[in-house]
A and B are shown apart, each in its own frame.
Chain A
Amino acid sequence: MNRAPASAPTSSPTPPPTPTRHWLPLIGAWLVVLVPSAWGISQVVLKSLALFR
């Protein structure tokens, strides 16, 4: 019968993987939505300035 050596760890849980931050796809994805948003918001801000003139 096979027996585990006394020094071997018993059932230690596998640590969960830590997220690897891949910056390029993360920044790319945010740029796709932030660039048009910034353009749209800047248009509205420019128009809103008329209220204070």
Chain B
Amino acid sequence: MHTSFTHPDLPARSVLDALAAAGFEMGAPSVVTRVVIDTFDGRLHDAGLRLEQHAGAVDELVLSGPVGAPAAHLAWSKPAPSLGHHLPPGPFRERVASRSQERALLPLLTLTTHTRVVSRRDRRGKATVAVVVHDRPTLAEHLAELPTWVAEVVGVAGHDDAFAGAIARLSMLGLVAAEGDMVGVVAGAAGVSLKGRTSSPTVPLAPSDDALLAYRAVLANLAHTIDDNLPGTVADTDPEFLHELRVAVRRTRSVLNQAKGVLPDDVREHFAAAFGHLGTVTSPARDLDVYVLGWSAMVAPLQLPDPRVLDRVRKEIERRRNSAYVTLAKELSGPTCRGTLDAWRAWLADPAVEPASPRPIGPVMARRIAKAQAVVLAHGRAITPASPPEALHDLRKDAKKLRYLLECFGGLLPTKPRKAFVSQLKALQDNLGDHQDAEVQLAELRTLAHDLHKRAKADTDALLAMGRLSDLLDRRRQKERDAFVDRFASYDTKANRAALAALLADAEAV
């Protein structure tokens, strides 16, 4: 039971005084720092849990949720664990690690408050309700305007009357009830998501905005995402950092390639090539990440009598993946990549960059999206059962280009129909992506089998199992290939084409 209150004008002191006058017992003041921790993709949040590290009067990890259950507290004064499996054995670890699995636990938000707990007790001396007053909240690395204080009423099971009484007392002071607990209220005010580390490629735009300025806003947002994910990639903290970085790099490249006539040619060509290089150097590590992350699911259908048969193969893939990361870290910290990113940031921040002849972004983008769609349709329609796998791979790239424009410049388009159209496109992309993943993994597995055989590092059982795995991947690849016809037909419908035309109409009309 939690209800929060705040007020823009009343000081926190007035709440404390009112509660003290009503017989509440005043606790000692303390400065508490809370760090909200989750995996990159918010797995704990998705499971209805929130993990926080508290430092102050009590040093502990607190795991709250599901609704109605008491929060779990684990005495903890060390730095936060980087993996769920690093927690001590017991139910706390079981609940965290079963959700976070192999993903790193990352700080999402750091919040400091001057906290005071006031409680009402019954005649046995037991607390029946507590009001936690969090004064002067500050968020690390955020300058957003926050509530000056938040008071949380925390109920005690079996004492509903005391809970209702405390709420009534605070309501009488004219306080404003706020949704969620203190962390939720402050995060909401600061616009910080507690659903993991999310970054959106979409920036607010209007169709009448100047095209060059709009492109620069989109590209600056992507540059911010690259910067955000670079340290985690270099440190190999979690595979999602590299994934997010690569997506931002691809989006940047795609936007640059669609910027002809808007960005100066020399800038566009130079950076498109530089980001192309950045994409290339990050590929091997990502391909091997996909392999490692999907390994268990991939080998499960083999139903091997002894799964250890493939241990050496798995370890070899992991070794290659780790080695690829070492190479990647050197590349990303080297002069070429650093030079690219430094020069890119400098150009994006250069106030002297101005449009030669201003023109609105709306019609420019509507035409480019329509053209990207035309390319997807033409290439997709040209694919036959006899087409080589590269044709599907090329179509996948075309679909990505379209998707990136729809997302990066999504601020120009109405949200709901845009998302509906993107979900149709995504269904096609999923098919093409699964086909491509199977192709890449099949090729990697064949190379690996040859290498291990040549170096006498795989016994007969392992080679046989790799053969079965290869067969499995080949069948998966074929299955996706067979599914392509229907998947593309579902995308290439009259209704879907009309939906995109309607989506672009307003932007085009400026």
- Are the chains A and B members of one assembly? no
Q: Chain B interface (Cβ within 8 Å of chain A)?
A: none
Interface residues of A (CB under 8 A from B): none
